[in-house]
Structure 1
Amino acid sequence: MSQPTDAKFALPTLTAMVVGSMVGAGIFSLPQTFGRVTGGLGALAAWAIAGGGMLMLALVFQTLARRRPELDAGVYAYAKAGFGEYPGFLSALGYWTVGCLGNVSYWVLIKSTLGALFPIFGDGNTVTAVAVSSLGVWIVHFLILRGVRQAAFINTVVTVAKIIPILIFLVFVGFGFQADIFAVNFYGGPGLEAEGLFAQVRGTMLVTVFVFVGIEGASVYSRYARRRADVGLATLLGFLGVLCLLVLVTMLSYGVMLRPDLAELRNPSMAGVLRAVVGPWGAVFVSVGLIVSVLGAYLSWSLLAAEVLFSAAKMESMPAFLSAENRNKVPFAALWLTNILVQCFLILTLFAEQAFLLALKLTSSMILLPYLLTAAYALKLAWTGESYEAGARERRGDLVRAALATLYAAGLIYAGGLTFLLLSLVIYAPGTALFVITRREQGRQVFTPAELMLFAVIAAGAVLAVYGLATGRIVV
């Protein structure tokens, strides 16, 4: 039975999905995470690179939504169409894992925020914090089971609610901005004298990726879009709005506190910045805003993660049981598997020294493969002319944008470093079991020769990572 028209998402709802997915934990930690590694100049350079690269990626999603409208599963569908079954599966697996890891980071930050008032929560990775977070996971789980469109409506309301505290923060910090403090912070100041600009900018790259994860939210939900043209427009509008917020929060903070003091702030560090301007109530205000924001982002990512598994199963690249829906048209099997993995990751945070930072960087590392394959697919289409009419004028522009987006994604893998690349392979290698199950379900050969070589490389990297963890060369 086809869905009624009123069940479809209009442009404002799709845009809210993008904004709701991107504005979560990351923006509230920007003053401290940037203050640890760079000054104002490095921050400007980082946002220029990240903004330009992510703009190219947003335009890639817009182009693909227009050129290949039948591919309505977003990131995963593009990777499969461009590079085959196993790379497509890896993109789906990586993107799904990003949703799970991102959700873990949200719970850790909520409990770290509460830890300022209730020491029993610590930095978000105590036994009590994990127990309370687990309860929250399953409450949201059963909310979503009541209906994906109902949950999406709640997300739209929460998205509006969580933007308001950020805007109020910007107003007060803007009035408290001091040019002399900003001048001292501009080149980094004490503690960063030996660090060059390149090293400072590189240190921010995984952070900038983390705060932009979710830019593809409308693309993943394109099967619910009322008009296909709205998918690309929602992606672009959401990106531009969030970029403005991210840059303002970062740069205004450099005009309130010295960089070493920003680096020492407890997360959510926006709370410490506002406290410096207006007093203790500012920290409470930001903390409440963070909890609302993060719960909204958590809802978005629970929806997105389950949708990726469901869509991949419908396209026969994940086990068939993941395509099951309940009477409310919610992919319940995919949702159960998603939250089981979230629960496992939450338990693992008990053994991490800096749980939030680990989840942030690993989330950023895992998203790079799906982004790279999506950009490379757009590059492939523009290069070969597939889906373009002969002599189409837009082809050259699409080629340039896709090339820049591909270069940006590849550069991020380098900037992220070997450690987190190897840790991501620890997830990709065992996760391939789902691909094997799917192939055997269908009575098909598991790997082509090229796919087998790719899996061998992934497995070898995973073994190297496990060895590094066991010997202490890799520390989490």
Structure 2
Amino acid sequence: MTSDSTQKFSLFALTAMVVGSMVGAGIFSLPRTFGNATGPFGAIIAWCIAGGGMYMLARVFQALAERKPDLDAGVYAYAKEGFGDYPGFLSAFGYWIGSCIGNVSYWVLIKSTLGGFFPVFGDGNTVTAIAVASIGIWLFHFMILRGVQQAAFINTVVTIAKIVPILAFILILIVAFKTDMFSANFWGGTGMPDATLFQQVRATMLATVFVFIGIEGASNYSRYARTRSDVGTATIIGFIGVSALMVLVTLLPYAVMPRTDIAMMGQPSMAGVLEAVVGHWGAVFISVGVIVSVLGAYLAWSLVCAEVLFVAARTDDMPRLFGTENANKVPAAALWLTNIVVQVFVISTYWSRDAFALMLNLTSAMSLIPYLFVAAFGLLLARRAETYDVRPQERSRDLAIAAIACIYTLFMIAAGGLKFVLLSALLYAPGTLLYFWARREQNKQVFNTSVDWAIFAAAVIGCIAAIVGLSTGYITI
């Protein structure tokens, strides 16, 4: 996987990695997710906030790819470079475990999609659904073990294939657009609980983070790029294209049916909307698209999970075991741990009331910490004027962009609420055992600074609070 002779990715392939990573489960669930929370006006505001914030984050990724080309491990490398070993580990671990949970949401959505035709799958967390998902996890596992280039090629093909039903959905709804229906829903519609505009927008925030996760897809594979500048270009192209799709998929359903009907749909709600417009074949058409899309996204994120764990091990931030490769240059140990974790979380969905929403929100919460480190590192570089001997005129612009990206990620963490902060700590605290393991292998002191100790103490306190909250019913899943 890391051989110098490995085939390099073109701009098109890198862009496909971004699009393939972003267009997965989330986009097919947007109509109900937003319908539950707000009307078109609130949705427009939510997308302005999310799109603006994520665009700034994409620009930070682009700038860092150009100004720090030596940091080619993706998200976590920036945290380590800027803030030290333990924050670097937390960024790598958070991104990895968040991606694992995201993979679980894909299996839940596939099974809930099938549940629309075969009741035995229910909402994606029945015993049968869990058993079938488990088989799928290990089929993908052994396919990836055969080689990454083959999997990357499949991802490019699947990315093209899954865009077709989404574009068809958008075109059909544009033709069916009813101005009076859109107007009736615009300020929130009737029959929905009263909520302030702030409450409506806040309710959508973690969902918008989830659908934007993957924006760093090209950055994660930057060391495979034929030309370094292609990393930033692929990030921006992928972001703009996918953003347009997501906004249209969110807003157009309000023009064909009442918000109350949209809010009551099962997932994937895009299938229900198209069925209401064109009949049952619409649900079948979108459902096929969902399965193709989600399986493609699952493949892309399985690669990302293994890559993050593998590179972190190679840079001494994870135990050395996970930096080993098999004969096909695939990080086998990293892939095994990834899929064992995915398997455990898939089994845990049996006890969840809304497994898809839980996994979606928890994935977003875990991913925000690594994103915050990236934005903060971009801010740090600009403040110190580091790397700005070249094109110094860009420093003020980059400083403003990184500052906005920091504010956005902090706002998103706060908007997600205390529940998901505590659930994140429930994973970060025990995950630090991997850091202890890695430091012992290297005969290094576990924590180097008082800041490291303070961060670890906060994670432990949050973990204990989460356990108490779950046991008392204060936190529900």
TM-score (norm 2): 0.98
Partner of 2:463: 462
CA apart distance, 1:192: 4.5
Paired residues for 1:406-417 under 5 Å = 406-417=406-417
SS in 2 for 1:254: helix
Say whether 1:364 aligns with 2:364: yes
Seen in structure 2, the aligned counterparts of structure 1 residues 204 and 124 have a Cα distance that, compared at 3 Å, is same
Partners of 2:413 and 2:162 in 1: CA distance:
31
Partners of 1:253 and 1:194 in 2: CA distance:
21
Partner of 2:472: 471
CA apart distance, 1:388: 1.1
Partners of 1:119 and 1:391 in 2: CA distance:
60
CA apart distance, 1:194: 2.8
Partner of 1:86: 86
Partners of 2:61 and 2:354 in 1: CA distance:
34
Query: Contact (CA 8 Å) 2:30, 2:269: kept in 1 or not?
Result: yes
Seen in structure 2, the aligned counterparts of structure 1 residues 390 and 148 have a Cα distance that, compared at 3 Å, is closer
Seen in structure 2, the aligned counterparts of structure 1 residues 2 and 102 have a Cα distance that, compared at 3 Å, is closer
Query: Contact (CA 8 Å) 2:27, 2:246: kept in 1 or not?
Result: yes
Query: Contact (CA 8 Å) 2:192, 2:260: kept in 1 or not?
Result: no
Paired residues for 1:31-180 under 5 Å = 31-180=31-180
Partner of 2:334: 334
User: 1:76 corresponds to which letter in structure 2?
Assistant: Y
CA apart distance, 1:23: 0.3
Seen in structure 2, the aligned counterparts of structure 1 residues 331 and 472 have a Cα distance that, compared at 3 Å, is same
Partners of 1:108 and 1:210 in 2: CA distance:
15
Seen in structure 2, the aligned counterparts of structure 1 residues 159 and 78 have a Cα distance that, compared at 3 Å, is same
Partner of 2:216: 216
Partner of 1:380: 380
SS in 2 for 1:393: helix
Query: Contact (CA 8 Å) 2:365, 2:424: kept in 1 or not?
Result: yes
CA apart distance, 1:117: 1.1
Partner of 2:315: 315
User: 1:74 corresponds to which letter in structure 2?
Assistant: G
Say whether 1:451 aligns with 2:460: no
Partner of 2:424: 424
Q: Once the two structures are aligned, what percentage of the paired residues are identical? A: 63
CA apart distance, 1:9: 0.5
CA apart distance, 1:434: 0.2
Deviates more, 1:381-390 or 1:419-428: 381-390
Partners of 2:451 and 2:59 in 1: CA distance:
31
Seen in structure 2, the aligned counterparts of structure 1 residues 237 and 124 have a Cα distance that, compared at 3 Å, is same
Partners of 1:406 and 1:120 in 2: CA distance:
45
CA apart distance, 1:276: 1.2
Partners of 1:224 and 1:58 in 2: CA distance:
19
Partners of 2:3 and 2:182 in 1: CA distance:
57
User: 1:266 corresponds to which letter in structure 2?
Assistant: G
User: 2:363 corresponds to which letter in structure 1?
Assistant: T
User: 2:382 corresponds to which letter in structure 1?
Assistant: A
Query: Contact (CA 8 Å) 2:80, 2:87: kept in 1 or not?
Result: yes
CA apart distance, 1:302: 0.1
Query: Contact (CA 8 Å) 2:274, 2:283: kept in 1 or not?
Result: yes
Q: Spell out, residue by residue over 1:400-449, the C-alpha distance to the aligned partner (whole angstroms, 9 max, x if none).
A: 10011111001101100000110011000000000000000000111123
SS in 1 for 2:33: helix
In angstroms, what is the RMSD of aligned CA positions?
A: 1.1
Paired residues for 1:335-354 under 5 Å = 335-354=335-354
CA apart distance, 1:198: 1.1
Seen in structure 2, the aligned counterparts of structure 1 residues 301 and 390 have a Cα distance that, compared at 3 Å, is closer
User: 2:415 corresponds to which letter in structure 1?
Assistant: A
TM-score (norm 1): 0.98
Query: Contact (CA 8 Å) 2:262, 2:269: kept in 1 or not?
Result: yes
Partners of 2:447 and 2:119 in 1: CA distance:
51
User: 2:454 corresponds to which letter in structure 1?
Assistant: M
Partner of 1:225: 225
Q: Spell out, residue by residue over 1:375-422, the C-alpha distance to the aligned partner (whole angstroms, 9 max, x if none).
A: 000000001111111881001111010011111001101100000110
CA apart distance, 1:190: 1.8
Show structure 2 runs of 5+ residues with no match.
Answer: none
Partners of 1:283 and 1:174 in 2: CA distance:
17
Paired residues for 1:386-405 under 5 Å = 386-389=386-389, 392-405=392-405
User: 1:452 corresponds to which letter in structure 2?
Assistant: W
CA apart distance, 1:3: 2.8
The alignment of Structure 1 onto Structure 2 pairs a total of residues equal to 475
Say whether 1:261 aligns with 2:265: no
Partners of 1:120 and 1:277 in 2: CA distance:
27
Q: Spell out, residue by residue over 1:79-106, the C-alpha distance to the aligned partner (whole angstroms, 9 max, x if none).
A: 1001000001000000001111111000
Say whether 1:251 aligns with 2:251: yes
Partner of 1:204: 204
CA apart distance, 1:2: 5.2
CA apart distance, 1:177: 1.1
Partners of 2:390 and 2:217 in 1: CA distance:
32
Partners of 1:421 and 1:297 in 2: CA distance:
26
User: 2:461 corresponds to which letter in structure 1?
Assistant: A
Partners of 1:342 and 1:391 in 2: CA distance:
44
SS in 2 for 1:36: helix
Seen in structure 2, the aligned counterparts of structure 1 residues 391 and 144 have a Cα distance that, compared at 3 Å, is closer
Partner of 1:292: 292
Partners of 1:234 and 1:468 in 2: CA distance:
42
Paired residues for 1:266-277 under 5 Å = 266-277=266-277
Partners of 1:21 and 1:28 in 2: CA distance:
14
